[in-house]
Structures are given as structure tokens and as C-alpha cells.
Structure 1
Amino acid sequence: MQVLRDIVYQLLPRPRPSGAPMEDGERVARRLLILSRHPNPSFSYYLDERAKTLGDIPVITKGLDDPLDAIDSDGLFVIICRYIKQPQLRWLEEKRGTLAGVAYFVDDDIPAVVTGNEASWPYKLRLIKLAVRPLPRVNRLLTHVWTSTETLASALSMRSHRIDILPPLPADAADVAINGKDDGAAPTRMVYHATGVHRREHEFLMPIVKAAMEKHGNLHFEVFAAGPLARRWARQGIDPARTTIIAPLSWPAYLAKTTHHHADIALAPLLSGKTNASRSDTKRIDISRLQAAAIFSQCQTFERCAIAGELHIGNTANEWLAAIDLLVGDRARRLSARDATRHSIERMRRHATPTFPGIRFEPLSGAG
């Protein structure tokens, strides 16, 4: 079965720019259009802050079902964020001659997700419909391809087509007020926030969390899970009075929840595998917003912006239990780890340029 998965993985289309490059390697644009399944984390992590730096340049954001007919395509640069539907694709094809360029941005190894055994079939079918099937037509329009990591660029690269890296650019962590209510008297709140795509990580954590909860009577646990995963968590025999299982939220609801409901400990396991190898470290942003002390898997993804004081451990049950014990029992260590991840967001901002690769934006004539 794995051999068949590998064959299909190689056969699925990859993004590749077919548009003629500019002689100086840079395109001039006068306005920006972002097509996105809006709102979503990819837009928030990678595009939103960069778009805010463009000053007087008009920035238009459209959801996948929004019509584009009223948009002036002259000098327009278009960013396709992961997905596109047929009506918008047809509009781009019709306006191709007037566009300044088209970029495709992706932050997941979508062929690996489609051919892997973790994601649900409804999610895979959505990827096929919105990201895989349109790609041959999208490729004929593309002048740029951007990915979130070097590893993902390597996985998706084909021949000599250039792929630029667009690392995450979070909002300034200094703008977030620190919650100082960790006085050790209230229950210690531990969370694992991940979608069903991380099925293996859920399964890895189940016995670890059960053991930690049995050991620490003051520990409360919250996990995002639905369907079979939620049922499996419920069958772990963990005290239901201290456990909350929440169905995954929409992106706006998740932002609101994690902004106003903080945690003490956030679990961030990442097991080895083709899909995970291409991921970026955006989980840091969520954990910083939660104002939690993180436990990270020791891996290349989380090493990128690591800060002294964080906990990075191997993927063994003993190491994870020991890390949870440490943070539950040592408030000072917990606060130190929390502050370290907050500082890692500052490092993430320093590592990311606020520009879009290969584009020079110039105001419309007479602007200002």
C-alpha cells in the first residue's frame, strides 16, 4: 500500500511558474489581490502582516466564492493562497494579459496529505477539488511560487523552476498584554490544539495525558477533536470532570478563544513523516497567543526559532511525562518557558522579510 501511495504522490501535479520572467527578475505591480479561503490561518500567518506594509497600494482580499468582475486587472498582482475555484480561475485566464503577475502560495505538502493515511476523506476530497485539480491550469498563469519552508520547496520543486520561501510573519508579540494571573492556586490548564490531520500526534499523547492526569489532581486538560478521535479521547478513562473535548473551531472563533482564554501548558508534538517534515513553526504563534508554556518535539521545525528556556524533547512517553511533571510542579519554570516562546515570536519576525519576493509595488499615478 505504501508503494502505491508513493507512486501517486509522485504523479500528483506540483505548482510551477510558467509565466515569462522579467528581465530584471522583478515585476512591478500597482495593486494586490489575495484569493483565499478567507479567513484562515495561512492568510493570517503569512500574508496579512506583509499586506499591511504596502501603504498606499490597494489591497483586495476575496473569498473563494466572491466575484471578481468589478476589479480592475490592469497592473494587478494576484496571490492564490492554497485554493481556487473555477469562476475565479476563468477570470484570471481572461485577464491574464493585463495582470502584473500571479503567485501561488502553499504552506503544506498537499500531495503528501492527499496520499497519507491521517487526513479524513472529506478533507482529502476538498484538497483535490480546490488545490490539486485546478493546478495544471493555475500553472499556466503563474509567475511566482512561494512556500513556507525550504523543505517544502524541495518537496514540490520540479526541474529548474524557482520556488521562493515566504516564512511566517506574525504580528508583533509586544502588542499582546501578558496575563499575570498564574499564581499557582487555580487549576493548571494544559491544552492540545490540533486538527484531525495530526491523528498520530493525538494517539501519541493519549496515554501520556492519561498518566499525567492521574498523577496531578490539579491538572485540567483541553483537546480539540471530533468524530473518531473525540470518541477515542473520551474512552481513555481520564477524569471527565477535568477534561474538555472541543470540536475544532472556525479560524475566527479559534482566534477569539485563544486570545481571551489562556492556558498554562501547551503540548506541541510533531512526529517524523513526510507531511510533518515540510511544516513551519506557526504553532509557536498560537502558543504565544495562549500565553502558555510549550513542550515542543525536538525537530528541525521547532529548532528554527528556538530560544533558551523553551522545552524541546524527544518523542518518547518518558520524556513527555517528565516535561509535564516539570511544568506542573515548577511555576517559575513554567513562566520562563512561556516568556521564551514569546521571545521566539520576535525572532520569527526578525527572520522574515516583510516583502513579497520578486515584486516591486509602485503607487498608482497621482496617488498621494
Structure 2
Amino acid sequence: MVARRTYIVEEGPNPSTDYFVLPALKHEVNPVIRCTWADLPSEQDLAYSSVIFVRYVPANWKQRIAQVRSTLARLVYFMDDDLFDYQASTGLPWKYRYKLAVHATRHRAWLQQMKVSLWVSTPWLKAKYASHNPALVEPEPIEAPSPACRVFYHGSASHRDEIEWLKPVIEQCIDANPSISFEIIGDHTVNQLYRSIPRVTVVHPMKWPSYQTFLATPGRDIGLAPMLDHPFNASRSHTKFFDITRAGAVGIYAKPGPWEHLIAHEENGMLCPMEPQSWVDAILKLAEAPAIRQALVQNAKEKITFLSNPRVL
């Protein structure tokens, strides 16, 4: 017996699928499979199945669909912008217009030839393309994500080596725990370095006063303070302890490091040698233990309060 499936063809995870297409398929009997442009099923797998293009029609899929159209149970094209009319994008950046033209607009006639069912997101689109007999798909809210754990590293340009060192650590943590996200400050090169990792936010560098406001924004859980053996690092102070604690997060600090006299391991932070697996283990342990994180943060705050009180030396 042939297994029937519903294939969603999308450039990658996107709001169009999440807000519109998936809710429209919530009563679907067949398994729903999300495919990127590169994920091309065989002709046998597509037989008697449904295919839904989300906004764009990639060339490899177009060729395959032309070969198997007669065996498909359903072919759908969904758009939530006016993608069939090139003039509608007048004034938008030319690279974006080119993308729309190549992957959407120029396929309108082919989609009609393939007898596609058109799904649209608004009454305006439904009225404009009434000749296609489109179906109006209403958006639905996305379910709130499970409780997340936000890990961050706020290093300046002088910490380029640490930024590169952290990448495989973060990759492994994010692969291991879907609740973990990562925030890092960096320029375009840092964005290029981390862009392939899901749930990573790269924040553009900012002036000190702006950073103070930014750091006070709630929502961070684990702060990282790696430090490689480099001559420039020999003169570092322990201010990362203050920054991480003020952010309301528990810190994982390099050992050796200038903060060792302040950090009691697993009491007001964690001290880890600069070995990647040690950091992966520490991050995953804290990510899965919110009560422990809260206790360590409270102890760190008390340590800072103690340090802030006037003392006779």
C-alpha cells in the first residue's frame, strides 16, 4: 500500500508556514512533512501525496512536480504577499524583488498549467486573484514555546578567539537541548560565523551607556566568561562577574581566570577549565536545573553586596 503524505515545501522555518499553513493542516489525516528546497522526495514517495509550496517554487521541485503531477493527490501554492504581480514590489530592495521574481512571480503560468489550488492569506489577495478561485487561509496564534534557557556571551572585538572557541560548544548545547538559545554580541563576521546555528541571536556592538540598558533587560539565564591563554588576557579584571550577575544570570567562568577569588564553584557560579566538553556539560547541567540557577544567582548577588560594603583594609 502506498503511504500518502503531505509535503510542505519551504525555504526554511518561517512565519508563513507557522501562522497559516500548519493551522490549515491541523486536521490533516496524512503525515505532514516539512521539506526545505534541498529535501526532494523520490517520485515513488510523492505518488498519491499532497505538495504545498509556501511562497516560492524552487527549480528542483518544479522539475520533479512536472514529472509526477498526474499522480499527486493535491498541489497547493500559498502566498501571504502579492507575489504574482512584479509591480506590487516596486520600491522594495532590488535583491528582494529579484528573489520574488525568480522564485515566485515567474512561476504563475506554470502553476496554472499544473492546476494548482491557490491559498491566500487576506481578503485583498482573494479578491485580486478571484480568477484563480483561491481559498482564504486565516492565521492562528502560535503556541507558546516551552520554558526557554537563554545563554549569552557579551565579548568585545578583543575576544575574537573566544567567540570562535565557543562556536562548537554552543552548537553541541543547542543540538542537545531544544530549550536553549544563545545571544552573542558581534559584527558581521560574527553573524556569518554563527548564522548556521539555530536559535542564535547576534546583537550589534553598542556604546557602554546603551549596553547598560541592554544588560538590564530581563530574560537571560546563563552568562559565559571564557578566557583563552593569550598575553592580552593576562591583565583582565573580574568585571564579567558583575555584568553577568547584574543580568540576573548565573555565570560559567574560565579557570584559571581573574574571578577565581570570587567564585566558589557551584555556590555562586561555576568554574570550568577551557576544555569544550567541560563547558558543554556545565551549560547543559544548568539549563536543566532552574532551581539551582536561581540559588547560584542569589548567592552571587549576596557576594556583590558584600563587596560593595565599605571595608577597612
TM-score of the pair, normalised by structure 1: 0.43
TM-score of the pair, normalised by structure 2: 0.50
From the CA coordinates, give the structure whose radius of gyration is larger. Answer: 2
Structure ranking higher on relative contact order (CA contacts 8 Å, 6+ apart): 1
